[in-house]
Amino acid sequence: MDLLPDVHDWLLDALPGRHITGTANLQTLWSGYGSIVRVGLDGGPEESVIVKQVTPPTEKDHPRGWNTNLSHERKLRSYEIESCWYRSWSDQCDANCRVAKCLAQGTIAGGQVLVLEDLDASGFSVRRHRLDENGVATGLRWLAHFHATFMGVDGEGLWPTGTYWHLETRPDEWAAMPNGALKDAAITIDQRLKSAKFQTLVHGDAKVANFCFAESFETPPAMVDFQYVGRGCGMKDVAYFLGSCLDESQCERMEASHLQIYFDTLRRSLTERHADRGNKIDVESLEREWRTLYPIAWADFVRFLEGWCPGHAKLHRYSQKIADTAIKNLSDT
Protein backbone atom coordinates (compact mmCIF):
# COMPACT_ATOMS: atom_id res chain seq x y z
CA MET A 1 0.00 0.00 0.00
CA ASP A 2 1.36 3.39 -0.99
CA LEU A 3 0.43 6.71 0.63
CA LEU A 4 -3.31 7.19 0.65
CA PRO A 5 -4.37 10.30 -1.32
CA ASP A 6 -5.70 12.02 1.81
CA VAL A 7 -2.48 11.21 3.68
CA HIS A 8 -0.40 12.55 0.77
CA ASP A 9 -2.17 15.91 0.91
CA TRP A 10 -2.17 16.02 4.71
CA LEU A 11 1.56 15.31 4.83
CA LEU A 12 2.37 18.29 2.62
CA ASP A 13 0.33 20.51 4.94
CA ALA A 14 1.92 19.01 8.05
CA LEU A 15 5.45 19.54 6.68
CA PRO A 16 5.18 22.88 4.87
CA GLY A 17 7.75 23.71 2.25
CA ARG A 18 8.51 20.07 1.44
CA HIS A 19 7.96 18.20 -1.79
CA ILE A 20 7.49 14.45 -2.02
CA THR A 21 10.13 12.91 -4.26
CA GLY A 22 9.13 9.27 -3.93
CA THR A 23 7.61 6.59 -1.73
CA ALA A 24 8.45 2.99 -0.81
CA ASN A 25 6.14 0.65 1.04
CA LEU A 26 8.10 -0.94 3.90
CA GLN A 27 5.57 -3.03 5.78
CA THR A 28 1.91 -3.89 6.08
CA LEU A 29 0.65 -3.53 9.64
CA TRP A 30 -0.48 -6.63 11.53
CA SER A 31 -3.78 -8.05 10.25
CA GLY A 32 -3.97 -5.47 7.46
CA TYR A 33 -4.56 -2.42 9.66
CA GLY A 34 -2.51 -0.08 7.49
CA SER A 35 1.05 0.32 6.31
CA ILE A 36 4.44 1.88 6.95
CA VAL A 37 5.83 3.93 4.07
CA ARG A 38 9.17 5.65 3.58
CA VAL A 39 8.60 9.02 1.94
CA GLY A 40 11.38 10.90 0.18
CA LEU A 41 11.32 14.67 0.68
CA ASP A 42 12.88 17.77 -0.78
CA GLY A 43 12.89 21.30 0.60
CA GLY A 44 13.49 20.59 4.29
CA PRO A 45 16.02 19.18 6.74
CA GLU A 46 14.85 15.57 6.28
CA GLU A 47 15.57 13.73 3.07
CA SER A 48 13.08 11.06 4.09
CA VAL A 49 10.52 10.30 6.80
CA ILE A 50 8.58 7.24 7.89
CA VAL A 51 4.79 7.50 7.66
CA LYS A 52 2.72 5.03 9.66
CA GLN A 53 -0.84 5.17 8.35
CA VAL A 54 -3.47 3.22 10.25
CA THR A 55 -6.50 2.31 8.18
CA PRO A 56 -8.56 -0.45 9.86
CA PRO A 57 -9.81 -3.03 7.36
CA THR A 58 -13.50 -3.56 6.65
CA GLU A 59 -12.91 -7.33 6.80
CA LYS A 60 -10.77 -8.72 9.60
CA ASP A 61 -7.95 -11.06 8.61
CA HIS A 62 -5.86 -12.20 11.57
CA PRO A 63 -2.95 -14.50 10.58
CA ARG A 64 -3.85 -16.94 13.36
CA GLY A 65 -7.62 -16.61 13.23
CA TRP A 66 -8.19 -14.34 16.26
CA ASN A 67 -10.76 -12.18 14.46
CA THR A 68 -12.90 -11.08 17.39
CA ASN A 69 -14.39 -7.70 18.25
CA LEU A 70 -12.17 -7.63 21.33
CA SER A 71 -9.10 -8.15 19.15
CA HIS A 72 -10.25 -5.36 16.83
CA GLU A 73 -10.84 -2.92 19.70
CA ARG A 74 -7.47 -3.78 21.25
CA LYS A 75 -5.67 -2.99 18.00
CA LEU A 76 -7.49 0.32 17.57
CA ARG A 77 -6.67 1.25 21.15
CA SER A 78 -3.02 0.31 20.61
CA TYR A 79 -2.64 2.91 17.86
CA GLU A 80 -4.23 5.56 20.09
CA ILE A 81 -1.71 4.60 22.79
CA GLU A 82 1.17 4.91 20.35
CA SER A 83 0.03 8.38 19.34
CA CYS A 84 -0.11 9.39 23.01
CA TRP A 85 3.38 7.97 23.55
CA TYR A 86 4.89 10.13 20.82
CA ARG A 87 2.84 13.16 21.82
CA SER A 88 3.45 13.12 25.58
CA TRP A 89 6.27 10.79 26.58
CA SER A 90 8.84 9.97 23.91
CA ASP A 91 10.82 13.20 24.24
CA GLN A 92 12.06 12.03 27.66
CA CYS A 93 14.18 9.33 26.00
CA ASP A 94 17.85 10.21 25.48
CA ALA A 95 20.63 8.67 23.39
CA ASN A 96 20.88 5.67 25.75
CA CYS A 97 17.29 4.63 24.99
CA ARG A 98 16.88 6.22 21.59
CA VAL A 99 13.50 6.41 19.85
CA ALA A 100 12.43 8.05 16.61
CA LYS A 101 11.48 11.71 16.74
CA CYS A 102 7.82 12.37 15.93
CA LEU A 103 7.54 15.13 13.32
CA ALA A 104 3.75 15.22 12.97
CA GLN A 105 0.64 13.22 13.78
CA GLY A 106 -3.04 13.45 13.01
CA THR A 107 -6.31 11.72 12.22
CA ILE A 108 -7.09 11.28 8.57
CA ALA A 109 -8.90 8.92 6.19
CA GLY A 110 -10.74 7.16 9.00
CA GLY A 111 -7.53 6.34 10.83
CA GLN A 112 -4.39 7.75 12.37
CA VAL A 113 -1.12 8.95 10.88
CA LEU A 114 2.31 9.26 12.47
CA VAL A 115 5.24 10.94 10.74
CA LEU A 116 8.47 9.72 12.29
CA GLU A 117 12.16 10.25 11.85
CA ASP A 118 13.71 7.81 9.39
CA LEU A 119 16.03 5.91 11.72
CA ASP A 120 17.83 4.29 8.79
CA ALA A 121 18.88 7.73 7.61
CA SER A 122 19.98 8.59 11.16
CA GLY A 123 22.44 5.70 11.31
CA PHE A 124 20.27 2.88 12.66
CA SER A 125 19.81 0.82 9.52
CA VAL A 126 20.70 -2.67 10.79
CA ARG A 127 17.97 -5.19 11.66
CA ARG A 128 18.76 -8.52 13.32
CA HIS A 129 16.88 -11.69 14.20
CA ARG A 130 19.58 -13.26 16.38
CA LEU A 131 22.21 -11.58 18.53
CA ASP A 132 25.63 -12.48 19.83
CA GLU A 133 26.53 -11.62 23.42
CA ASN A 134 27.53 -8.06 22.53
CA GLY A 135 24.21 -7.55 20.81
CA VAL A 136 22.24 -8.99 23.72
CA ALA A 137 24.10 -6.70 26.13
CA THR A 138 23.31 -3.71 23.93
CA GLY A 139 19.60 -4.54 23.96
CA LEU A 140 19.54 -5.14 27.71
CA ARG A 141 21.23 -1.80 28.33
CA TRP A 142 18.63 -0.02 26.19
CA LEU A 143 15.87 -1.60 28.27
CA ALA A 144 17.59 -0.74 31.55
CA HIS A 145 17.98 2.93 30.58
CA PHE A 146 14.37 3.04 29.36
CA HIS A 147 13.06 1.56 32.59
CA ALA A 148 15.22 3.88 34.67
CA THR A 149 13.95 6.90 32.74
CA PHE A 150 10.32 6.15 33.51
CA MET A 151 10.63 4.57 36.95
CA GLY A 152 7.60 5.45 39.07
CA VAL A 153 5.72 7.55 36.48
CA ASP A 154 1.94 7.32 36.25
CA GLY A 155 1.92 6.61 32.50
CA GLU A 156 -1.11 8.83 31.90
CA GLY A 157 -2.68 8.08 28.52
CA LEU A 158 -0.80 4.80 28.08
CA TRP A 159 -1.89 1.24 28.86
CA PRO A 160 -2.56 0.87 32.62
CA THR A 161 -0.79 -2.46 32.23
CA GLY A 162 1.73 -2.64 29.41
CA THR A 163 2.51 -5.59 27.03
CA TYR A 164 0.41 -6.96 24.22
CA TRP A 165 -0.22 -10.25 26.05
CA HIS A 166 -1.71 -8.72 29.22
CA LEU A 167 -4.26 -11.14 30.69
CA GLU A 168 -7.12 -8.66 30.95
CA THR A 169 -6.96 -8.03 27.19
CA ARG A 170 -6.57 -11.73 26.30
CA PRO A 171 -9.54 -13.64 27.79
CA ASP A 172 -10.08 -15.62 24.58
CA GLU A 173 -6.51 -16.87 24.57
CA TRP A 174 -6.79 -17.80 28.27
CA ALA A 175 -9.99 -19.76 27.56
CA ALA A 176 -8.18 -21.65 24.77
CA MET A 177 -5.36 -22.79 27.08
CA PRO A 178 -5.20 -26.45 28.07
CA ASN A 179 -6.36 -27.05 31.62
CA GLY A 180 -3.51 -27.22 34.08
CA ALA A 181 -1.44 -25.44 36.71
CA LEU A 182 -0.45 -22.49 34.50
CA LYS A 183 -4.02 -21.74 33.47
CA ASP A 184 -5.12 -21.98 37.10
CA ALA A 185 -2.34 -19.62 38.18
CA ALA A 186 -2.88 -17.03 35.43
CA ILE A 187 -4.77 -14.52 37.57
CA THR A 188 -2.31 -14.85 40.45
CA ILE A 189 0.64 -14.35 38.09
CA ASP A 190 -1.00 -11.25 36.65
CA GLN A 191 -1.73 -9.84 40.10
CA ARG A 192 1.83 -10.45 41.31
CA LEU A 193 3.22 -8.46 38.40
CA LYS A 194 0.68 -5.67 38.76
CA SER A 195 1.19 -5.39 42.52
CA ALA A 196 4.97 -5.02 42.31
CA LYS A 197 6.12 -2.10 44.45
CA PHE A 198 8.47 -0.85 41.72
CA GLN A 199 6.73 0.03 38.47
CA THR A 200 8.02 1.73 35.35
CA LEU A 201 6.94 1.98 31.74
CA VAL A 202 7.52 -1.18 29.75
CA HIS A 203 7.86 -1.11 25.98
CA GLY A 204 5.43 -3.99 25.78
CA ASP A 205 6.72 -5.57 22.55
CA ALA A 206 10.49 -5.52 23.11
CA LYS A 207 11.43 -8.18 20.58
CA VAL A 208 14.71 -7.97 18.70
CA ALA A 209 12.86 -7.11 15.47
CA ASN A 210 11.78 -3.80 17.01
CA PHE A 211 15.39 -2.74 17.67
CA CYS A 212 17.14 -0.63 15.04
CA PHE A 213 20.89 -1.13 15.38
CA ALA A 214 23.83 0.95 14.24
CA GLU A 215 26.72 -0.77 12.45
CA SER A 216 28.54 -1.15 15.77
CA PHE A 217 27.09 -2.40 19.04
CA GLU A 218 29.10 0.33 20.75
CA THR A 219 26.35 2.73 19.66
CA PRO A 220 23.13 2.24 21.63
CA PRO A 221 20.28 1.12 19.34
CA ALA A 222 16.95 2.80 18.73
CA MET A 223 13.53 1.26 19.30
CA VAL A 224 10.24 1.37 17.39
CA ASP A 225 6.64 0.14 17.75
CA PHE A 226 5.18 1.60 20.94
CA GLN A 227 1.61 0.33 20.60
CA TYR A 228 1.70 -1.57 23.90
CA VAL A 229 3.74 0.74 26.10
CA GLY A 230 2.37 1.09 29.63
CA ARG A 231 2.97 0.56 33.31
CA GLY A 232 4.62 -2.61 34.52
CA CYS A 233 7.55 -4.51 35.95
CA GLY A 234 10.65 -4.23 33.75
CA MET A 235 11.17 -8.00 33.84
CA LYS A 236 8.36 -8.41 31.33
CA ASP A 237 10.42 -6.60 28.70
CA VAL A 238 13.62 -8.40 29.67
CA ALA A 239 12.15 -11.91 29.51
CA TYR A 240 10.41 -11.21 26.21
CA PHE A 241 13.51 -9.65 24.64
CA LEU A 242 15.76 -12.57 25.59
CA GLY A 243 13.21 -15.06 24.31
CA SER A 244 13.03 -13.21 20.99
CA CYS A 245 16.72 -13.43 20.09
CA LEU A 246 18.13 -16.51 21.87
CA ASP A 247 17.43 -20.21 21.75
CA GLU A 248 16.51 -22.19 24.85
CA SER A 249 20.08 -23.25 25.57
CA GLN A 250 21.37 -19.69 25.44
CA CYS A 251 18.49 -18.44 27.62
CA GLU A 252 19.34 -20.98 30.28
CA ARG A 253 23.14 -20.89 30.17
CA MET A 254 23.40 -17.12 30.16
CA GLU A 255 20.50 -16.25 32.43
CA ALA A 256 22.64 -15.08 35.34
CA SER A 257 25.02 -12.99 33.23
CA HIS A 258 22.19 -11.40 31.24
CA LEU A 259 20.36 -10.36 34.39
CA GLN A 260 23.59 -9.00 35.82
CA ILE A 261 24.18 -6.82 32.77
CA TYR A 262 20.65 -5.49 33.00
CA PHE A 263 20.72 -4.75 36.74
CA ASP A 264 24.21 -3.23 36.67
CA THR A 265 23.03 -0.81 33.98
CA LEU A 266 19.73 -0.14 35.74
CA ARG A 267 21.54 0.69 38.96
CA ARG A 268 23.89 3.17 37.26
CA SER A 269 21.11 4.74 35.22
CA LEU A 270 18.79 5.16 38.20
CA THR A 271 21.58 6.76 40.22
CA GLU A 272 22.35 9.23 37.44
CA ARG A 273 18.76 10.04 36.48
CA HIS A 274 17.26 10.28 39.95
CA ALA A 275 20.18 11.78 41.88
CA ASP A 276 18.50 15.17 42.00
CA ARG A 277 15.13 13.84 43.13
CA GLY A 278 14.01 13.96 46.73
CA ASN A 279 12.49 10.46 46.59
CA LYS A 280 15.64 8.41 46.15
CA ILE A 281 14.90 4.95 44.78
CA ASP A 282 15.89 1.97 46.91
CA VAL A 283 17.78 0.12 44.19
CA GLU A 284 18.61 -2.85 46.41
CA SER A 285 14.93 -3.48 47.14
CA LEU A 286 14.02 -2.98 43.50
CA GLU A 287 16.55 -5.55 42.32
CA ARG A 288 15.45 -8.11 44.91
CA GLU A 289 11.82 -7.70 43.90
CA TRP A 290 12.41 -7.81 40.16
CA ARG A 291 14.75 -10.81 40.29
CA THR A 292 11.97 -12.67 42.09
CA LEU A 293 9.53 -11.58 39.38
CA TYR A 294 11.73 -12.67 36.45
CA PRO A 295 10.37 -16.25 36.26
CA ILE A 296 6.86 -14.91 36.86
CA ALA A 297 7.24 -12.56 33.89
CA TRP A 298 8.30 -15.54 31.76
CA ALA A 299 5.29 -17.53 32.98
CA ASP A 300 2.99 -14.65 32.08
CA PHE A 301 4.15 -14.77 28.46
CA VAL A 302 4.10 -18.58 28.33
CA ARG A 303 0.47 -18.39 29.51
CA PHE A 304 -0.36 -16.23 26.50
CA LEU A 305 1.46 -18.47 24.01
CA GLU A 306 -0.20 -21.65 25.23
CA GLY A 307 -3.58 -20.19 24.35
CA TRP A 308 -2.65 -18.11 21.32
CA CYS A 309 -0.40 -20.54 19.46
CA PRO A 310 0.13 -23.99 20.99
CA GLY A 311 3.33 -25.48 19.60
CA HIS A 312 5.00 -22.08 19.15
CA ALA A 313 8.80 -22.29 18.93
CA LYS A 314 9.15 -20.23 22.11
CA LEU A 315 7.31 -22.91 24.09
CA HIS A 316 10.54 -24.82 24.58
CA ARG A 317 11.99 -26.71 27.53
CA TYR A 318 13.51 -23.63 29.19
CA SER A 319 10.34 -21.54 29.01
CA GLN A 320 8.29 -24.42 30.39
CA LYS A 321 10.85 -25.02 33.13
CA ILE A 322 10.91 -21.39 34.23
CA ALA A 323 7.10 -21.24 34.17
CA ASP A 324 7.01 -24.29 36.43
CA THR A 325 9.48 -22.53 38.76
CA ALA A 326 7.21 -19.49 38.86
CA ILE A 327 4.16 -21.55 39.76
CA LYS A 328 6.10 -23.32 42.53
CA ASN A 329 7.30 -19.96 43.88
CA LEU A 330 3.73 -18.72 43.96
CA SER A 331 2.57 -21.75 45.91
CA ASP A 332 5.43 -21.34 48.40
CA THR A 333 4.54 -17.72 49.25
Q: What is the 3-state secondary structure (H, E, C) of 120-170?
A: CCCCCCECCCCCCHHHHHHHHHHHHHHHHHCCCCCCCCCECCCCCCCHHHC
Q: What is the pLDDT of residue 65?
A: 47
157 shares its domain with 107: no
Amino acid found at 325: T
Q: Which domain holds residue 11?
A: 5-117
Judge if 291 and 219 occupy the same domain: yes
If you ran DSSP here, which 8-state letter would residue 314 be given? T
Domain assignment present for residue 291? The answer is yes
| 79 and 225 co-located in one domain | no
Q: How many other C-beta atoms lie within 10 A of the C-beta of residue 174?
A: 18
**Spatial CB neighbours of 95, under 8 Å, sequence gap ≥ 6:** 220
Number of domains in the chain: 2
DSSP state of 213: B
User: What pLDDT tens digit does each residue of the chain (333 aa) get?
Assistant: 588 888 999 999 999 889 999 999 998 887 788 899 999 999 889 999 999 999 887 655 544 444 678 888 898 899 999 999 999 999 999 999 999 999 999 988 778 899 999 999 999 999 998 999 999 999 999 999 999 999 999 999 999 999 999 999 999 999 999 999 999 999 999 999 999 999 999 999 999 999 999 999 999 999 999 999 999 999 999 999 999 999 999 999 999 999 999 999 999 999 988 776 545 789 999 999 999 999 999 999 999 999 999 989 899 999 999 999 999 988 776
In this structure, are 272 and 139 located in the same domain?
yes
Q: H or E stretch including 301? A: helix 283-308
- Model pLDDT, residue 110: 72
pLDDT at residue number 278: 46
Q: Which residues have C-beta within 8 Å of that of residue 207, sequence separation ≥ 6?
A: 240, 241, 244, 245
- Specify whether 173 is located in the same domain as 283: yes
In a domain, 75, yes or no: yes
Whether residue 138 is found in the same domain as residue 112: no
Q: Is residue 104 part of a domain?
A: yes
Q: Answer yes or no: is 124 within a domain.
A: no
pLDDT for 75 = 87
Residues 221 and 263 in one domain: yes
